[in-house]
Chain A
């Protein structure tokens, strides 16, 4: 089952849903399995620290599912909120770049003019990203909760 289904649909879609939603098994209870949590943690490099956090996620998904109350039969899905805007086309001229020094200042470690990353193993990756920029699940949940008018608990 695709991870994105977690965010978008647990029940079979109503109406003419296309795009990234896929046919997910109806779980009814809205419980998210440990397998899915593990998968999410790997894919998005988030850290669900506790069962409480998972419950909060389930609530967030249930909240989003309320969108399904809307009958969308015969309505074309909106692919982009920018669908009425014109996509600006830039002419093919060189106008940027040449700022290596400035960019390299952002990095803790550089070797000559290269950025440095740990060697290519999954463990190193997970560790490096989790320690340097922890994207805690609370931040995600708090965003969704705020839209609902509730106060976030960080």
Chain B
């Protein structure tokens, strides 16, 4: 209980009204059974922008869908939002619970400074306006894992509002171009988390662990459709979304379901639905009451939360008791969009490459370490890292940290390639060897498999000559002007050299010979 959670609201304009009744945790987990494994979302939280779905029938109006995401992210802190209990994964049940977390009478919430800082940082990173005064409220509902009967949240005046996030997706005709999109962030609020329920249907009981709820990142989607220019439609809330993929599927399904329903004369109920990942559809959750009434009221035990900036900071204030927004802004790390732009400028990479580098954990660091140790051009390095290296990782489902090839090893290989000691096809062979036989260096593999490029120009010249003499017909074709024939000659010479000669060099020599 009281594990700290940040809630982000991404809008449609509906939100001002919808927020009051939105059913966070209303019937969570009930239909799934035991849910003790938290789901971990790898990539950054995605938000779907305004989406236009078209019905293929002629004469029908276009439909426009509005999607809002309610995202619950657990704050990384040592102790909980309102108590000094530890925040830690996978502890014995009810061992991280204080008297306040168990809602024993007479206990009071005490706000964790670190959580406020985290909320401000998040707000700043998402271009929000930070409210210098924000308020805490109680949201009442009954559930076994909420012993107090209410949850402390920030409904009226949250800590940050009106932000935005610019992100990139694969777009264009072939979906291989980076397209920029923006999503609005309605608000960010600090919120208490509930406990965890394990449903034991066999014995008709529910087991309650008040350490914290499962899942470090949870998303609910709110979907409605309307005709452009008309008022927004009734929205439904979709829960039980365990991955980005299911989130996308559920939203797509729900948009289509609503369109179908409305086009056949039905109506959309303001309800909570659950996503059935096996069937790929949303189903209504057991809900006899319709809209939930949370009876919001101000949290009487917490004064307003006041934040300062450098101009408004009171003189002589205890630094532990005040939070300076400007100071927190200075501690923000480089944000991903800035990093991506910097990579494009610094290394001349394409935005697509920059995007991929930041999308894999550890890949950027790997790339930068290779760059440090190699003379090769950044573009070449990027090509090897994003295509060859990443390809091998994906094939064997490995993380960057599990790679058998170190940045130094790849750097050495690229140096050999750069100095033309080996050909690019030989380099690929070497890479494969480095991947499967750990501990060897590129140089070792090259000498073991005799992959060095022929450096002896005279020998190569003789080989070209002998090949030409051995295939007079091909030589004739070339002299006649058949441009494809020279490639055949190059291929023949390459075979003769056991692929140890640079094709470009071979071509040069052949052309010289053919001219004479």
> Which A residues form the contact surface with B (CB < 8 A)?
2-4, 19-20, 39, 42-45, 79-100, 103-104, 106, 111-120, 122, 125, 129
Contact = CB atoms under 8 A, between A and B. Distances in A.
B405 interface: no
Contacts, number: 166
13 contacts: A87-B302, A92-B114, A94-B78, A94-B79, A97-B95, A98-B95, A98-B96, A103-B97, A113-B93, A114-B94, A116-B208, A119-B201, A125-B142
Interface stretch (B105-113, B250-258, B273-281, B508-516): B105-113
Interface in B191-212: 197-199, 201, 204-210
Contacts of B77: 92
Contacts of A89: 111-113, 116, 320-321, 323
A95 B100 CA distance: 12
B contact residues, range: 35 or more
B306 interface: yes
Contact of A85 (B205, B288, B303, B323): B303
Nearest to B297: A20
Contacts of B99: 96, 99, 103
Interface of B: 27, 30, 77-79, 83-86, 92-102, 104, 110-116, 135, 140, 142, 144, 156, 197-199, 201, 204-210, 288-289, 293, 295-298, 300, 302-306, 320-321, 323
Q: Determine the main DSSP class of A at the interface with B.
A: loop
A94 B102 contact: no
Q: List 9 A-B pairs, minimum CB-CB distance, nearest first.
A: A117-B144, A95-B84, A92-B114, A96-B98, A114-B207, A97-B85, A82-B303, A89-B113, A115-B208
Contacts of A91: 113-114, 320
Contact of B298 (A79, A120, A125): A79
Given A93-B84, A96-B98, A100-B95, A120 B303 contact: no
A88 B321 contact: yes
A122 B98 CA distance: 28
B305 A122 contact: no
A90 B197 CA distance: 29
Given A4-B296, A89-B113, A115-B210, A97 B96 contact: yes
A114 B208 CA distance: 5
A113 B92 contact: yes
A39 B293 contact: yes
